[in-house]
Amino acid sequence: MNITVGLTDVLLASPLIVLFLFSLIPLTIKTLRGNSEQNPAATIVIALIGLGLTAGLLLVFGGSDKTAFNNQLLFDGLTQWSSLLAIIASAGALVMMYENPATRGKQFSELIFLALNSVLGMIILVAAVNLITVFIGLELMSLSLYLMIAMSHEQKISKEAAMKYFVLGSFASAIFLYGVSFVFGSSGSVNITDFMQSAATLVKTNKLFLFGIVFVILGFCFKVSIAPFHAWAPDVYQGAPTPVTSFMATAVKAVSFAAFLRVIATQTLVGSQNLFDVMQWLAVITMTVGNVAAIMQNNFKRMLAYSSVAHSGYLLVGLITSGISQNSAYSASSVMFYLFAYSIMTLGAFAVVSLIERSENAVVNTDDLAGFAKNQPALAMCLTIFMLSLAGIPPALGFFGKFYLFSAAVNEGLLWLALWGVLNSVISVYYYLRPIVVMYMKDGEADVADHSLHATTVTVYVCAFIIILVGLFSGPLFDLVEKSLG
């Protein structure tokens, strides 16, 4: 296959090029300084400028519905929104990396290089319509992430987390690639746009194609921690440095679901009732397992990890709805809106954890929050907003995210799935209220760490402000997303 590269291709790919070039700047400066680390503030400013320029270019070229490099990358509304969400979440995580004791140090330039290249992989992942290119984006994102976790200054748990994630992630990638080989062998193409019109028929008539699609779906289920492929998430979330955990829980989850959505939108679920039924039960099991397990956790990061599993179950409901809907714009928009809401809530919650951690070996349990409301009333209020929003209490953003997600399911006749979602939301209220009760009702000495944490504090306030503001005016934003995905 001959791929000709023209000016249009370069312009469309300019966000990727700019981001990669900016990722090289901190490493180049460090090399020129004789392997001496420059001021971390300068490194983080360079990274944020790079992310800002990438976001600006995505706004200009992202929603054009044009393809680049012989239909390898598609720059449509889904690419634009999910990439911008990944950039926003990544910017918040980078700010936390600058101030967290587990990530700020001698190898900060290398860490920022890996983080920016992970974001580069994310944008490739969501823009790719060729399953091989999807794999390349997935691996660039994941390999950078394995190294970021292992680079923590904490010496034991983070190394264990990196190894678990690497081994299980490699296994999931192999399953994904195995599925892609069957898709190619049975359909003659690995381009999603090529078999989009015929996928439902192929699933019904060609068992090899069905086998391949199932394995591709299984690969994604691991990446987005769908039960029973979620076992890595609690250990990795707990063991990774808190800023990296927030990076994984927000940006990585958002783009993985966006890429998953692109595959599911081929209407493969319409062609196989068995696959459709299995996906529904996976959503129910994931919601229930995540919420029930979260109730039993005292470690705050581990609780948020199981919470993340439960939210993956909610989002899978939206994906299933998109996979059978004739008007997939509404369903896809509900998924993207929920990803935005979840990312902001989770980023804020992890930012509060990062503020409390005093060293790279610090462990924050729910009981350790006693007295936080007395010592830090503003931050305690912000954490309360995050918890209530994650639980889906109105008028916070999380409530409207669930409302759009479950109403889309009801519109497609998936009433029982929506009821399971509502039931699980009620269950989740228990463990989301527990930190609030501890902060306000128990005496203790919980406070932020002694070192300067101004940027992370600003991140917390900004996230809380967005949750309330967008929650109150969610309609116009949802309409805007739906229009761009239509």
Rg (CA), the chain: 21
Give the bridge partners for 299, in sequence order.
365
Per-position pLDDT tens, the chain of length 486 = 555 677 888 888 899 999 999 999 999 999 998 888 888 889 999 999 999 999 999 988 776 778 888 888 888 888 899 999 999 999 999 999 998 888 887 788 999 999 999 999 999 999 999 899 999 999 999 999 999 998 887 777 888 888 989 999 999 999 999 999 999 998 888 888 877 777 878 888 888 989 999 999 999 999 899 988 888 899 999 988 899 999 999 999 999 999 999 888 877 888 788 888 999 999 999 999 999 999 999 999 999 999 999 999 999 999 999 888 777 788 889 999 999 999 999 999 999 999 988 777 778 888 888 888 888 899 999 999 999 999 988 888 999 999 999 999 998 888 999 999 999 999 999 999 999 999 998 888 877 776 667 888 999 999 999 999 988 888 888 888 888 776
Helix axes 328-356, 253-264, angle to 10 degrees: 160
Q: What is the 3-state secondary structure (H, E, C) of 303-319?
A: HHHHHHHHHHHHHHHHH
> If you ran DSSP here, which 8-state letter would residue 153 be given?
S
Q: How far is it, in rounded angstroms, from Cα 440 to Cα 442?
A: 6
Distance CA 323, CA 332 (A): 9
Please tell me the predicted confidence (pLDDT) of residue 265. 82
Question: pTM for this structure?
Answer: 0.93
Give the span between the Cα atoms of 351 and 461, in whole angstroms: 10
Do the beta carbons of residue 125 and residue 381 sit within 8 Å? Answer: no
* CA distances to 71, 73, 78, 105, 123 from 65, in Å: 11, 10, 10, 42, 15
Q: Which of 336, 334, 308 is nearest to 414 (CA)?
A: 334
> Using a CB cutoff of 8 Å and minimum separation of 24, what contacts does 435-439 make?
435/300, 435/366, 435/369, 435/383, 435/387, 436/383, 436/384, 436/387, 436/388, 438/366, 438/367, 438/369, 438/370, 439/369, 439/370, 439/371, 439/372, 439/373, 439/380, 439/383, 439/384
In order of 244, 299, 352, the CA distances from 369 in angstroms are: 22, 11, 11
